[in-house]
Amino acid sequence: MRITAADVLVASPGRNFVTLRITTEDGVTGLGDATLNGRELAVAAYLSEHVVPLLIGRDAHRIEDTWQYLYRGAYWRRGPVTMASIAAVDTALWDIKAKVAGLPLYQLLGGRSRDGLLVYGHASGAELPELFDSINEHLEEGYRAVRVQTGIPGLPSVYGVASSKNAAAGAGSGSDARYDYEPARRSAVPVEESWDTRAYLRHAPTVFEAVRNEFGPELPLLHDAHHRLTPIQAAKLGKSLEPYDLFWLEDVTPAENQAVLRRVREHTTTPLAIGEVFNTIWDYRELFEEQLIDYVRSPVTHAGGITGLRRIFDYAAVYQIKSGVHGPTDVSPVGLAAAIHLGIAIPNFGIQEYMKHSPATHEVFRTTYTFEQGMLKPGEQPGLGVDYDDLVAQSFPYEAAYLPVNRLLDGSMHDW
């Protein structure tokens, strides 16, 4: 079954997305997500200039061989641009294979291991009353686990907190007002945020104390430190949050240096999640073998597709480490659908992040997965169960958008 076409689709329904559509000689199509927030056009160019020409004429059924061909064949291995491109090809080929088999993709991955995927949503508020409202709204929508992010006294805007100011900036045309936190802003250069680690470390435990007092001990609570701490600061935060029994504490350090997590682990039993910016199994080796983390954050989109991420999860399972797949709005509905099919099949599923895409996004990406009672479930349509509407996509052209950058209060650059 030869590949006859591969189209790189760039559109901006609410936010920018890069999608790859592969077509075979018998007219079967498959979709893959290649969105890399703030660097979308680099992946689009990598795909159209260096990958699409290599795909034409290949056998669409040879998924593993194509993965190896693109990974080893580039010589320049790893990296987010390369791995998002490989992911898109891999996901599209799985979509095709499942459609040809007449089965929803998860059936090809071993079938269902559970009824649905427990998800967590993003509750946030600049101050406690807003945060409590946001948690209550999530509970009313059926969420059974929430991530908690708040403002920090003295800082004008902080990662993870939805605000009407963000809403206006993020919405671009104004016709698609944000319903949730979206860090990328449509602008020619990134906006600048400010950061004060000491203020954060003082404030965070008071927030979780208040949330536990208000909502009780049972609700699973998560928190994202977004790569901003040194090992000893991370250890201190983990320790100070222990009384509030977090489901996980995410991205405490940048973790390019995996060994620093040893220091954090020596000091705290708060479970750790890492990896949304990692892209291969190699990025996890030390973290797995020394059991330095509890949850893997990589999405299908940035870790080499179903093939790449499945391998990472199998390796993680050896060390009792579970999945906790990245699911912000910048992972497209195609990337999310792929995560749902994989998550329902693997033995070591942990939790899935679910932020919900905007109505505009769903006008372009027609999905069949469902969200009910706090669980995501794949549809039963053959393949991934996502269709892409080219005509609607044309009314949402790409607009430059960047993630913010971060400065300390003295003006020096810090991790965002």
Interacting residue ranges for ligand GCO, rule: CB under 6 A: 37, 183, 224, 226, 276, 326, 328, 330, 353, 403
> In the complex, what is the shortest distance from the CB of residue 152 to Mg ion, in angstroms, rounded to a whole number?
17
Closer to Mg ion at the Cβ: 40 or 224? Answer: 224
Contact with Mg ion (CB under 5 A) among 95, 180, 182, 224: 224
Nearest residue to ligand GCO, by Cβ distance, number only: 37
- Which residue, 103 or 403, has its beta carbon nearer to ligand GCO? 403
Give the pair of three-digit tokens for residue 309. 């991420």
Taking the complex as a whole, the smallest distance from the CB of residue 172 to ligand GCO amounts, in Å, to 17
Task: Based on the shown chain and the rule CB under 5 A, indicate whether residue 353 belongs to the binding site for Mg ion.
Answer: no
Among residues 223, 226, 326, 357, which one is catalytic? Answer: 226
- Give the one entry of Mg ion, ligand GCO, none that residue 403 binds, where binding means its C-beta sits below a cut-off of 5 to 8 angstroms depending on kind: ligand GCO
Size of the site for Mg ion (CB under 5 A): 2
Partner from Mg ion, ligand GCO, none binding residue 353, C-beta < 5-8 Å depending on class: ligand GCO
When CB distances are held under 5 to 8 angstroms depending on the partner's kind, the choice from Mg ion, ligand GCO, none that residue 30 binds is none
328 interacts with, out of ligand GCO, Mg ion, none, CB within 5 to 8 A per kind: ligand GCO
- The one catalytic residue among 159, 244, 284, 354: 159
Q: Is 226 among the catalytic positions?
A: yes
Complex with Mg ion: residue 24 or 323, whichever CB lies closer: 323
Residue 159 is a catalytic residue: yes
Nearest distance from residue 172's CB to Mg ion, in Å?
23
Instruction: Give the shortest CB-402-to-ligand GCO separation in angstroms.
Output: 10
Question: Least CB distance from residue 75 to ligand GCO, whole Å?
Answer: 28
* 87, 79 Cβ separation under 8 angstroms: no
294: partner contacted, choices Mg ion, ligand GCO, none (Cβ within 5-8 A by kind) = none
Pick 307 or 329: Cβ nearer ligand GCO: 329
- Beta carbon of residue 4, minimum distance to Mg ion (angstroms, whole number): 39
**Positions marked active-site:** 159, 226
The site for Mg ion (CB under 5 A) is made up of 224, 276
